[in-house]
Amino acid sequence: MNYKILNFKLSNNIKDLINKLASEHSLEPEDYLKLIQDASPEDDLYLAELAVKARYKIYKNFVYVRGLIEISNICKNNCYYCGIRRDNKNCERYRLMPEQILECACEGYRLGFRTFVMQGGEDLFFTDEILCRIIKDIKNKFPDCAVTLSLGERSYESYKILREAGADRYLLRHETADKTHYNKLHPAEMSYDNRIKCLYNLRGLNYQVGCGFMINSPFQTLDNIAQDLKFIENFKPEMCGIGPFIPHHDTEFKDLKIKPGTLELTCRLLSIIRLIHPAILLPATTALGTIHPQGRELGIKAGANVVMPNLSPVSVRRKYELYDNKICTGEESAQCLNCLEARMRSIGYEIVSARGDFKN
């Protein structure tokens, strides 16, 4: 009897926190921790219900699509968790030439995409000059499209030149808001401070900026995730990419036997982030689709509102292997889009062909 009463009080407490988050868009780090640690399945349903309501007011039941072009898997960095890190000798390297990238964009435009995301390793071939040419070519050909870059850490000057060439948005996951944790995931030549400085530089240059992190990355604690949420609350990104960490067989972490981040925690975090920033653009990621057959649908139902089908040439898709068993590496772009459209329709959502800018 006593036990039941105690239980009731606990879950009531969580519900209070959820209500507080929905109305104030902010919690203390210890309350974020409590929420991610103790939410019951019913609490998750309540979180998702409020997240979906908050999102509906701004974006209705629309899901925005971004055409992902994986321009190169050549990388000068050696992030310990990543399948395309520099020291992975088993990774078969490729680089798309500017004409190929443009072809992907043309195909994407025909299919209805109005945002192109160029993502890749930190490949020195892609100088400012070459990237500016590509960005200008895309923007001249398709003035109604947005260009998003996800090319890692560059100098302020470089971000400035790319912005002036027409890039609209930049995705750079902060990976973790805890410096000690950051140093466990990256070699000494990379620094947390520089990662964060890059994010603020991008912000200063008026990009729409996206940060983000992996769930259950090696050595991550729930406390770290609470810090990530506080960081996201304070930084106020226009976009946020979160997805489960999935081990890659050719990385430092292959022997740790770390389990991928769970569907449950990822969805809980999507709902929380939606309530922190109701207008945020939040993808249901490919990694989430990889750990569960309905991962992306469930992500959208938890509060996400973006999907990023692959526009890369099928011949290179398998090579952009950040983690094991990545989905969508075999199909043509059109098939990828059709599949996602059907999946979204099946849960009552509609993929729209629009730039899908951040609504303030």
Applying CB under 6 A, the residues found at the interface with ligand SAH are 81-82, 119, 121-122, 150, 152, 172-173, 175, 214, 243, 245-246, 248, 287, 322-323
Closest distance of CB 187 from ligand SAH, Å: 13
Residue 154 vs 274, nearer CB to ligand SAH: 154
DSSP assignment string, 47-60 = HHHHHHHHHHHHHT
Q: Which one, 73 or 333, has the nearer CB to ligand SAH? A: 73
Q: Which is nearer to ligand SAH, 166 or 260 (CB)?
A: 260
Minimal distance, residue 119 CB to ligand SAH, in Å: 5
User: What is the Cα gyration radius of the chain?
Assistant: 20
- Comparison of 54 and 151: residue with beta carbon closer to ligand SAH: 151
Angle at 19 between CA 15 and CA 25, to 5 degrees: 135
The CA distance from 208 to 317, in Å, is 27
CA angle 25, 359, 156 (to 5 degrees): 90
Between the CA atoms of 330, 335, 337 and 342, what dihedral angle is there, to the nearest 10 degrees? -110
- Closest approach, Cβ 329 to ligand SAH, in A, equals 15
- In the complex, minimum distance from the CB of residue 283 to ligand SAH, in angstroms, rounded to a whole number: 11
To ligand SAH, the closest distance from the beta carbon of 188 in angstroms equals 17
Identify whether the C-beta of residue 35 lies closer than 8 Å to the C-beta of residue 230. no
24: its two tokens? 């104030």
Nearer to ligand SAH, 114 or 173 (CB): 173
Calculate the CA 242 to chain-centre distance.
Answer: 5
